[in-house]
Chain A
Amino acid sequence: MLANDDIKRWAREDEEARRIRREKANWDFIEKQPPKIKAALKYFIERGDRYVAAKIAGLSLDEFDEIRLKANIPVVI
């Protein structure tokens, strides 16, 4: 079972990671992308989940990762 402290720590970690992704992202690049790619990149910034983001974009994991790099969105781990 998860303790409340763990859940709070995870929430803090998620927020820190989200803040870093938002700050580093190249928003001009993101806004110029086709709708599915743009939505996927924005989802990745909010959730940091490459799997779901790749599915939104309709790409494989590593194809999405190439675009993530171009958009300068870091994987925060």
Chain B
Amino acid sequence: MLGVIDACFIIDWCRYRYRGLLEKFFSTLFVHEETLEQLKSERSITYISELLAKGILRLYPWSHREEDEFLKLRSEIASNSRIPSLERPDILCLIMAKNLNATLLSENVGIHRVVEFHKEYGNVIVWTALETLENLVYKGLLNISSTNEFLRYVKEYEYDTGHIFKSSRLENSLRRLKSWLEK
């Protein structure tokens, strides 16, 4: 499975006690060089360097055609005041995920909203850490026998990273997991 990872996700995920699970889930993760430039702390640089050294993470070969795509998308986003500001590297990640047919790992509210309203990007799958944890369960990398056990993993992630998942997002995840556990 292919993934694209943005800066906020890296910054958050590298604090998580079970961060090593990500490399067991994805065959390849792509990162844009401009995403790497956003990282300055020892913790995030160490994490990303390890992924690069293992060959799990690869630099994405950005093209001129994709640069045109970026300019078009940027102007469409700028005209929507409900979308929080998006840095250029995060828009690049969305374009990469679309063109690779890969799952985008992003904690950026703006990116999630673009996918909600934009026809061309509506098919891009974007996961926060919550959906990532959920999919680790489906793949057998996190073992649970009840949704309460899953909630324990969620609480650990929230504690490690200073996150709180919105109630609606958590309810949706728990509903899907409950259905999966009953099969």
Q: Which residues of A contact B (CB under 8 A)?
A: 1-2, 6-7, 10-11, 13, 16-17, 20, 24, 47-52, 60-63, 65-66, 68-69, 72-77
Contacts and interface: CB of A to CB of B under 8 A. Distances in A.
A49 B107 CA distance: 11
Task: Report the 4 A-B pairs with minimum CB-CB distance, sorted nearest first.
Answer: A60-B40, A62-B41, A74-B164, A49-B84
Contacts, number: 81
B145 to A, nearest CB: 27
A62 B92 CA distance: 19
A49 B175 CA distance: 29
B162 A73 contact: yes
B84 A61 contact: no
Interface string B27-53: 000000000001111011000000000
Given A48-B84, A48-B109, A74 B11 contact: no
A74 B162 contact: yes
Given A49-B85, A73-B162, A74-B163, 17 more contacts: A1-B117, A2-B117, A16-B167, A60-B39, A61-B40, A62-B11, A62-B41, A72-B162, A74-B162, A74-B164, A75-B8, A75-B161, A76-B164, A77-B107, A77-B109, A77-B128, A77-B130
A74 B82 CA distance: 20
Contacts of A7: 82
Interface of B: 7-8, 11-12, 38-41, 43-44, 80, 82, 84-87, 107, 109, 112-113, 116-117, 128, 130, 158, 161-169
A73 to B, nearest CB: 7
Contact of A61 (B8, B161, B169): B8
Contacts of B130: 77
Given A75-B163, A77-B109, A61 B116 contact: no
Contact of B166 (A11, A13, A51, A72): A13
B84 A47 contact: yes
